[in-house]
Chains A and B, each alone.
Chain A
Amino acid sequence: MAGENGALRQGGGTLDANVARHLLVTMWRIRAFEERLEPLKRSSTVHGLTHLSIGQEAVAAGVCTQLGNDEIVYSNHRAHGHALAKGVDMGRLLAELMGRADGCCRGLGGSMHVVDVAHGFFGATGVVGGNLPFAVGAAFASRLRGDSAVVVVFFGDGAAQAGIFAESVNLASLWQVPVVFVCENNGFAEFTPRSAHTRVERVSDLAAPFHVTAATVDGNDVVEVHRAFGEVLASASAGKGPFLLECLTHRRSGHYVGDPGGYRVASDDESWRDKDPIGRLVRRGATEGWFGEDAARAIEAAARDEVEAAVAFASASPFPDLTLPADLTYAR
């Protein structure tokens, strides 16, 4: 990371056309899924508290598409994008959100607690910051096993003000474990802007005192996220310690579906619409010759078709068995 702590990197990297295409596919799958989710939630087809990440897809795509199934990801309450990008099946994810037996957690976890061990998605936690030390422990386990499997944990800028953040980053640094803390700084901690929480503008500024290398990138530029995370991943895999990557982005929807959003500034939302990560990649793809507009539209259409298939799959799934609480509260 060249020690550029806190430096906002401008997009400048380039990509293989196949990788670029895969990133667009990933972002469209997340976007189409969550756009469909909103009416499903409003009609109570989706049962519980639901947090959308519309506008933030570049971070999930740029990070998770570079990880294998043996590289663990921990997510937070805004988990759908991370899960889809990490390989969780869309139909099973939607069935989980609808509380159905074919959900990836048989309907016991829901939107905030998605787990899919086969894809290295060890789970999402619903309490802000609660997942951070899990990643330190999993990365310590990598070191004990003697492999170099990197662990990634996503957190929001709101979590950085919690004590658990400092404790976890300190321990990761002290023990030099291969963990990457990926901050999605979307400017809001739940319902209030970052300025109401702290005078520290950049989360990456909080890493240097712990001797953790950190960088801030434009989190709405998927090419840049992909490049920056690729560097960090290589360094962490090589045993060069923990890293923190802050991705500046913007949550285009409320904190949760149904959030009245009175705290949001309309002009900000407008300006961020131009920075939408999908639109930017489509424009960039045409310029770079990665894919034409028709190809981009076909990718969108395929994603929306996949979502409809997921809706059909999940809707056909029964509700879970009432024996599950007695069977699964404890491991036997």
Chain B
Amino acid sequence: MAHVIPYIAAIQEAIREEMERDERVLYFGQNMATSPDDPFLKQFGPARVRVTPISETAEIGMATGAAMAGFRPVVELYMAEFLLVAADQVVNEGSRFHFMSKGAVTVPMVLVAGYGFTYGWAGQHTGSIYGMFMGVPGLRVAMPSTPADAKGLMTTAIRDDNPVLFFHHYLLALTEGEVPDGEYAVPFGVADVKRSGSDVTVVATGNTVHSALAAAETLAERGVSAEVIDPRTIAPLDVDTILGSVARTGHLVVVDQATRHASAAAVIAAEVAQKGFSSLQAPISLVTALDSSIAYAEPVESFVLPDEHKIVAAVGETLGLAPLPG
């Protein structure tokens, strides 16, 4: 059975259900549990649900210490950029300990952060910065595009014995969708084919999955069959599913809201260029944000971001079609 809830509620549902199943799961964050009516606080109490000071470095470091001591903290960071305030703790501390301790220490910790709030939030709160973490050994990076994946990936994130960065897209927060009732886990490193197709493979993440699906619909009306793949986690990255698709379609367009040179798309393109070169009938095309900060003014904001039309145009170019009207 399933129920329909918003994406952001699906994340909360997974955290709540895991806290019910496992009393080692803790939930920390700034500005949370500030009211006695907070549902998490009421259900789990102040020992497990705690507000923290605006001290990202200490919050994440404290969670790392608690994780090494046997707990499973979930830290709510709100904005992806706040991870950068605590970059040493995110990149260079907890993520290293399993390896450096020959596996004697594990750090089961989830850092939850929203990204891509491209709705007038301007230069410092709109970044799509997940790409810079996908190459950090020891870190897992999940980025759901649907409410069901949001729930399933969060369940897996909490159960994983590694530090996990869980990036949710702010523009998807209120998007509703069917979510399975009860225990639901989506495995890491398993891409989901969101739409099957035979002419071109379109790989997209997060909010751009929806742009890619809209583009596929437009392309279908013009007789082009696009396959849309959502990796769902970029570390680990399911390269095999993408290679398998490209082997059938011979064409690859990778969509990413990140800036081109720090995108997951660039890594995906490199993997396919090396391992799937013989399948490719045309150069790989990347549809990413420009290598620019995100502008405040709406027309400029839209200009730098990937969208459905840019995906349609890229597919047309890859397939060598005559330019398609708007």
Complex Cα spacing A268 to B298, Å: 64
Q: Which residue of A lies closest to B86 (CB)?
A: A164
Are B52 and A134 in contact (CB-based, < 8 A)?
no
Q: Which of B52, B63, B92, B102 contacts A127 (CB 8 A)?
A: B92
| Binary per-residue interface labels of chain B (50-71) against chain A in the complex, 1 for a CB within 8 Å, 0 otherwise | 1011010111111111111111
Q: Which residue of B lies closest to A118 (CB)?
A: B104
Known: A122-B68, A127-B88, A171-B53. A117 touches B104 (CB 8 A): yes
Are B52 and A137 in contact (CB-based, < 8 A)?
no
Q: Which B6-49 residues have a C-beta within 8 angstroms of A?
A: 26, 47-48
Q: Label chain A's interface by main secondary structure.
A: helix
Q: CB-CB < 8 A to A144: which residues of B?
A: 26, 47-48, 66, 71
Question: B272 to chain A: closest CB distance in Å?
Answer: 22
Complex Cα spacing A108 to B96, Å: 10
Known: A115-B105, A130-B61. A137 touches B99 (CB 8 A): no
Are A167 and B58 in contact (CB-based, < 8 A)?
yes
Known: A109-B100, A127-B93. A136 touches B58 (CB 8 A): yes
Complex Cα spacing A72 to B140, Å: 27
Known: A117-B104, A135-B65. A141 touches B55 (CB 8 A): no
Complex Cα spacing A151 to B65, Å: 10
* Residue in B53, B96, B98, B103 with the greatest tally of chain A CB atoms within 10 Å: B103
Q: Which A133-158 residues have a C-beta within 8 angstroms of B?
A: 133-142, 144-145, 151
User: B89: CB under 8 A from chain A?
Assistant: yes
User: B244: CB under 8 A from chain A?
Assistant: no
Complex Cα spacing A82 to B165, Å: 33
Q: Which of B63, B101, B106 contacts A137 (CB 8 A)?
A: B63
Complex Cα spacing A122 to B98, Å: 11
* Residue in B50, B52, B59, B104 with the greatest tally of chain A CB atoms within 10 Å: B104
| Binary per-residue interface labels of chain A (79-112) against chain B in the complex, 1 for a CB within 8 Å, 0 otherwise | 0000000000000000000000000011011000
Q: Which of A16-24, A45-53, A323-331 makes up part of the contact surface?
A: A323-331
Complex Cα spacing A151 to B52, Å: 20
* Residue in B52, B96, B99, B160 with the greatest tally of chain A CB atoms within 10 Å: B99
Question: A70 to chain B: closest CB distance in Å?
Answer: 11
Q: Which residue of B lies closest to A122 (CB)?
A: B68
User: A185: CB under 8 A from chain B?
Assistant: no
User: B206: CB under 8 A from chain A?
Assistant: no
Question: A275 to chain B: closest CB distance in Å?
Answer: 34
Q: Which of B26, B52, B105 contacts A123 (CB 8 A)?
A: B105
* Residue in A106, A134, A170, A327 with the greatest tally of chain B CB atoms within 10 Å: A134
Q: CB-CB < 8 A to A123: which residues of B?
A: 97, 100-101, 105
Are A117 and B105 in contact (CB-based, < 8 A)?
yes
Q: CB-CB < 8 A to A135: which residues of B?
A: 65
Question: B50 to chain A: closest CB distance in Å?
Answer: 8
Are A133 and B60 in contact (CB-based, < 8 A)?
yes
The 12 sampled A-B contact pairs (Cβ below 8 Å) are A108-B102, A115-B101, A115-B105, A123-B105, A134-B61, A141-B65, A167-B57, A168-B61, A171-B53, A330-B98, A330-B162, A331-B160
Besides A115-B101, A115-B105, A137-B63, 10 more A-B contacts (Cβ < 8 Å) are A74-B65, A113-B101, A141-B66, A141-B69, A141-B70, A325-B99, A327-B103, A330-B98, A331-B160, A331-B162
